[in-house]
Amino acid sequence: MESKRMLKFPTGTNSPTSAEVDISLVLDECEYAPQAIDKMRPDPLLPAYLLMICDEPTKRGGSIYPAFAYDGEEVPIRFEVESDGGFVPVDMAGLSDGSLMILFRGPKHTLRIGLVSSRDLSSAMRRRGVAVTPQIILEAAESDGFNVGSTSGLAIREDDGKVFVYIVDSGSPSVYLTAFEWIS
């Protein structure tokens, strides 16, 4: 059996030692480990959370995906992310205000980007087990002329008050990198 582990570095990557983090609760619900992983810092004065969203729905089925937040404690905070139409969370990226963009891969070369505000995310995490429903800010399909491919990655760059969003796919033989400016 393949061993799956997660290590943390208490004082950053220059830490002299690492410490293992118990991810058994995550692996109970994410068969192959989470695909969407990022950090969230809703308050610059508090430590950041390590967020993970499973790419398989909850054991109850449907369109609810288990999500977890580690804040340095031993047990993760569990919440859920809602999606519909066969769109699966594959990556996410945080904004400087603590909000989160989630990339969803859909059927037939489609994608969505959902936005969850820092307030909604923090509220769901405080109430443990509550689902957040991202506001869909982009839906694109190859049938509409977009280069979607098999969407796999999302990155955000904030510069001079502008937000640039980058989407990459893991297609073969071509790999697409799409960039656009998000205007809220």
pLDDT in tens, the chain (184 residues): 466 777 777 777 787 888 777 777 787 877 777 778 887 776 667 677 888 888 888 877 678 999 988 876 667 888 899 998 889 999 999 998 889 999 999 998 899 999 999 899 888 888 877 889 999 999 999 888 887 778 889 999 999 999 999 999 877 777 878 888 998 8
SS3 assignment, position 180: strand
d(CA 17, CA 9): 7
To which residue do tokens 């399909």 refer?
141
The pLDDT value recorded for residue 1 is: 44
Domain assignment present for residue 116? The answer is: yes
Q: Are the C-beta atoms of residues 93 and 38 closer than 8 Å to each other?
A: yes
**Long-range pairs, 14-22, Cβ under 8 A, ≥24:** 21/70, 22/74, 22/75
Residue 18: domain span: 6-146
To which residue do tokens 């002329």 refer?
145
Domains in the chain, number: 1
Domain assignment present for residue 184? The answer is: no
Domain assignment present for residue 171? The answer is: no
Domain assignment present for residue 97? The answer is: yes
Domain assignment present for residue 170? The answer is: no
Domain assignment present for residue 165? The answer is: no
Domain assignment present for residue 156? The answer is: no
pTM for the model stands at 0.86
Q: Taking the mean position of all CA atoms in its chain, how far away is CA 114?
A: 10
Domain assignment present for residue 60? The answer is: yes
